[in-house]
Structure 1
Amino acid sequence: MKKLSVLGIRGIPARHGGFETFAERLCQYLVNKGWDVTVYCQELGCGPVYSSVWHRVNRVHIPINREGPLSTVLFDLRAVWHALGQDGLFLTLGYNTALFNVLQCMKGQVNIINMDGIEWRRSKWGPLARAWFWLNERIGCWVGNHLIADHPKIKQHLATRVSADKISMIPYGGDEVLEADVATLLPYGLEPGGFSVIIARPEPENSFLEMVRAFSCKHRHHRLVVLGNFDPDKNRYHRQVMEAASDEVLFPGAIYEAKVVQALRYFSRFYLHGHRVGGTNPSLVEALGAGCAVIAQDNPYNRWVAGEGAAYFEGEQDLSHLLDELLIDDSKVETMKLSSSECFRARFTWRAVLREYEDLLTRWCTRGTTS
């Protein structure tokens, strides 16, 4: 039986974001194909490591008696230490603590690393954090037996570190949303087509301030729904975004109920995407899967994902002009929605993405034993 252990995430079922969602999908896909799959899960608390089984996926639970970034570092260290006693193939999602994967390399374990985005370029990090991520990216390139990039530009970047033959490009996947429950919009006072939506972490690199200003510079007779965890009392950037918003902007907070988020995408007029750094962004893929008309910040990452059917902006004024044009052009919006659906089906379905992962893992599985 082919055996795989997954490291680098907080665990499954998914509660924390894109990597966890992907891991949940991949693990269930592989066990249905006859694989023996184990996932390392971070738990809050004290006590010994313990095991459980979730939908035929083995879980190794590691309690960590603290919260915050340091807790993740400690969890990754303990997970790698435990993994040293296991056999089979290893898949590490992210390189943020690749320093610990050196131990697996020294033992001869076969470890495939999904290198995620270029974390050290993100503006939210200070100099020490950037140095840590830069160093771990280098180490990950060195110790990973094979690397996965989720975007062609990420593969190009990694190819400046290692041979391109060592890198496979496999994007993120998503679900196609063909219908949604309109009743979920009622608590927010929204009507289909009468609002647009932003779904992201409210950080400067995701262009929240620019998008909210561009929308709020005039009365739009339209609503903008901005999802995310905002804390204006503690976070200056959050406060700036909320102060820049007109009374047509709604901040409902972070919404984790899948059917509500799906409805917000499905019934929106536009999905606004301001990410400037990264590879294949899960939220953008999910917007394509919901058939959203996408307006995105103009960069190579977003253009490859959303294709030529999306609209792109370079700054506040550019976005404001796009909104002026597209809020009154129903025909163009329908064309954009159709393009998003076609782009999604051609490139980002879970079936295609998970099959590519299975093919890659199978090729490495015969080498996935300790030496």
Structure 2
Amino acid sequence: MCTKMTEIEKQHVFIIGSKGIPARYGGFETFVEKLTLYQKSPDIQYHVSCLVDDNEKLRTFSHNGAKCFDIKGYNIGPAKAIFYDVESLKYCLAYIKSNKIQHPIIYVLACRIGPFIGYYKAKIEKLGGRLYVNPDGHEWKRAKWNALVRRYWRISEMLMVKYSDVLICDSKNIQKYIKTRYKKFNPNTTFIAYGSETTKSKLMDDDQKVVAWYQNKNVRPHEYYLVVGRFVPENNYETIIREFMRSNTDKDIVIITEIRNNPFYDKLKLATGFENDKRIKFVGTVYEQQLLTKIRENAYGYIHGHEVGGTNPSLLEALGSTDLNLLLDVGFNREVGEDGAIYWMKEDMSLAKLIDVADKMSPKETHELSTLARKRINDCYGWEYIIERYESIFFSYFIQRDEVTKNGNSTSSIKLQ
């Protein structure tokens, strides 16, 4: 844009569906953090919904230049996220109306509010806005949901696809799935992956913070395999632990995840008896990014068992910082890792044998894999490139809407591709 826009004229983008920023854990949270942190155009104004407990005081505040607003989340089971998204959407619509925001974009992360979206889509259109959706992964496949909840997620996904103006898929596999499964809706999709970095941690190996963490967790640098991710069944913790116990490695497996008040931990203990294997270490969470990056760098290898969803941020971070990566062989992971990783299947002894092979790999072999992995991240998943793609798509609506207004045509036919 040649001249700086006024506050009202800016392209306002309202982001709903993440737990908010500043980010701690979570793919969507990290994405929103980076999207706002590395923003290039001064003519985009981001608004970000932030989830808080029902006993917390609601705030509006600024972070990375984004206007953030708190929405309460109530402990009502699977409906908590649905309620949060709907309340966030209502807040955004009221803000847009009262502040006379022009051509707003509502960007919803994940397909949780499908049964309600037709009603709110009409309100968005009335305000001159558009609905963008990130369909995320296959929520209805997650093992934690019962049959009734899974059915809800299937229906919700279908309706979000039906009513969205643009679907931004973070995986080519997800994009293909959306275009094939919902062909009757002729969905307007585009592909933009999550971003990542290959920047080294600012912490040195002898930093007291690093040394203290290793001592406290009884872990030896470069003598452990690492797992980082949400503690849910579909990330295949049971398979990973069973297979690790069957391997001959003398290294540890360090699992960074939140297990407190999670019944899955007790089920896993009963199913595998892992507490009898001293190599298996659940070490809790690490929220400080520089320390987590250093732990990744010092791992002998990273084991990734995610099989539901699109491009996983934890996988991108591993490829950008850990030399040797052992990935579950599914389309989402192959798409990202390509030749920069080695792959295992869920069959008995597949991962166990791969760990034994990995233990015997030469420094030259691991260096070659590391070089390919980092090249993959730099070439296709760098944040600068990702941010440019997003800002281009957000401005496409502003520019094309301007042209449509001049020509007197309907905005409903606009395609961003």
Using structure 2 for the length normalisation, give the TM-score: 0.82
Asked whether 1:122 is paired with 2:154, we answer no
- Residues 275 and 47 (structure 1), Cα distance of their counterparts in 2 relative to 1, 3 Å cut: closer
Stretch deviating more after TM superposition (20-29 or 144-153): 20-29
Give the corresponding residue for 1:99.
Answer: 115
CA distance in 1, matches of 2:294, 2:86: 39
Indicate the SS of the match to 1:125: coil
Decide which of 193, 198, 205 is 1:171's aligned counterpart: 193
Report the equivalent of 2:382: 349
Per-residue CA distance 1:235-279 (angstroms, 9 max, x = gap) = 343324662352112111222222222112111111000112221
- CA contact 1:209–1:244 (8 Å) conserved in 2: no
Correspondence for 2:105: 89
Query: Structure 1 residue 72 and structure 2 residue 81: aligned?
Result: yes
Distance of 1:304 and 1:233 partners within structure 2 = 31
Aligned position for 1:299: 330
Number of matched pairs: 371
Match of 2:415 in 1: none
Q: How does 1:329-340 map to 2 (within 5 A)?
A: 329-330=361-362, 331-340=364-373
Query: Would you say the 8 A contact 1:204–1:237 is kept in 2?
Result: no
SS of residue in 1 equivalent to 2:195: coil
Equivalent residue for 1:328, pick from 353, 357, 360? 360
Say if 2:349 is the partner of 1:317.
Answer: yes
Which secondary structure does the structure 1 equivalent of 2:308 belong to? coil
Based on CA coordinates, which of the two structures has the bigger radius of gyration?
2
Distance in 1 (alpha carbons) for counterparts of 2:231 and 2:60: 35
Moved more, 361-370 or 25-34: 361-370
1:112 match: 132
Unaligned runs of 5+ residues in structure 1 are none
Percent identical residues: 24
- Amino acid in the other structure paired with 1:82: Y
| Structure 1 residues 335 and 70, CA gap change in structure 2 (3 angstroms) | same
Q: TM-score, normalised by structure 1?
A: 0.91
CA distance in 1, matches of 2:70, 2:233: 34
Give the equivalent residue in structure 1 for 2:267. Answer: 237
Report the RMSD for the aligned CA atoms in angstroms. Answer: 2.6
Shift of the alpha carbon at 1:66?
4.1
Q: What CA deviation, in whole Å up to 9, does each residue of 1:195-239 have, x standing for no partner? A: 110112233221212211222125422111012122598334332
Structure 1 residues 28, 68: closer, same or farther in 2, change over 3 A?
farther
Asked if the contact 1:289–1:344 (Cα under 8 Å) also holds between the matched residues in 2, the reply is: yes
1:248 corresponds to: 279
Tell me which residue corresponds to 2:319: 288
2:55 pairs with 1:36:
no
For 1:272, the aligned partner's letter is I
Q: Pick from 13, 18, 22 the counterpart of residue 22 of structure 2.
A: 13
Tell me the SS of whatever aligns to 1:178: coil
